[in-house]
Structure 1
């Protein structure tokens, strides 16, 4: 970095007869904004990551994997192009011993009587399978990153609003000072 560009970068911090108190205030606002945005973003992101991991672990703990039996042959071709699975009717026995039936996703052309693994909640009702450990980690990291960037962005946005008000105040002060100086300056120019 050249010395002249360093001087331009830190001009609000150097002693200068043209520097106003609002320039110093703006320099502090920028410094504090970056510190809070970075530190606050990292801390908020880590907290969101941890909370999401805890939530996914708690959800997985409330679910049970049980064996279910297909009650009818599954369709041969999937209706959608998603994961290639088809909906089929299954029957399973819940932890409390009660028998349930419902629809779940299975491989195409599965035969009646074949077993599949389904996930149930504490009432024995079908639920979607919980994310794997890798999927859960990815979800929690993405949530943490979104919260980190959101927090940092909110802090920078608030700083921008404060600096905008500061700029408006500087312009009002400048207009007031110019209104005082302009008549004297015009008199010298015309005289």
Structure 2
């Protein structure tokens, strides 16, 4: 393993006679890209988390449990297990009354062979449309946090990639300048001086 020497902090901004202007520009681009990456990621993640939590809280407030009734016997046979797994359930037609008094129908998962008229708990929004069960408070926090992290990482990738692209262009420009200087001074190295 090669000896690298002591670590020098802020080496990009130290005075050095060999440092070019593009080196200083690259140093500021790297710093700016990292600062913008962190700020963008944190702000986007927090905004997404808050938005998802607000949406899920609104669902918990507006969606209500309603008792629906099977309109026809559910297909299949009644099993000996009274507790059926969701994989053992079948689709059954149900009807329910919305808070405004209107009648609605839809399909939900019920136990196989359930007789017509069986009460089935469902979830409905204010308009009486069939919805899924809203997420609990703990589920909402976990879901909002995961979405916030994903959105934050995705948003942070944009300035990070942009900074890398700019640094790559500076590197190509620096290599082109070196090629130009080498083409000018390289042939002079073969001459003998007295």
User: What TM-score, normalized to structure 2?
Assistant: 0.82
| Paired residues, number | 186
CA distance in structure 2 between the aligned counterparts of 1:133 and 1:187, rounded to whole angstroms: 80
| 1:165 pairs with 2:169 | yes
Partner of 2:49: 49
Partner of 2:192: 188
Secondary structure of the residue aligned to 2:50 is helix
Listed as ranges, the matches of 1:149-160 within 5 Å are 149-160=153-164
Partner of 2:145: 141
Secondary structure of the residue aligned to 1:23 is helix
| 1:110 pairs with 2:114 | yes
Partner of 1:59: 59
Distance change >3 Å, CA 34–CA 84, structure 1 → 2: farther
Instruction: Choose from 98, 104, 109 the match for 1:94.
Output: 98
| 1:15 pairs with 2:7 | no
Secondary structure of the residue aligned to 2:115 is coil
| 1:30 pairs with 2:35 | no
RMSD of aligned C-alpha atoms?
A: 2.7
Q: CA deviation at 1:10?
A: 4.4
Secondary structure of the residue aligned to 1:49 is helix
Structure 2 runs not aligned, ≥5 long: 79-84
Distance change >3 Å, CA 188–CA 56, structure 1 → 2: farther
CA distance in structure 2 between the aligned counterparts of 1:134 and 1:84, rounded to whole angstroms: 28
CA distance in structure 2 between the aligned counterparts of 1:85 and 1:141, rounded to whole angstroms: 32
Distance change >3 Å, CA 85–CA 178, structure 1 → 2: same
Secondary structure of the residue aligned to 2:168 is helix
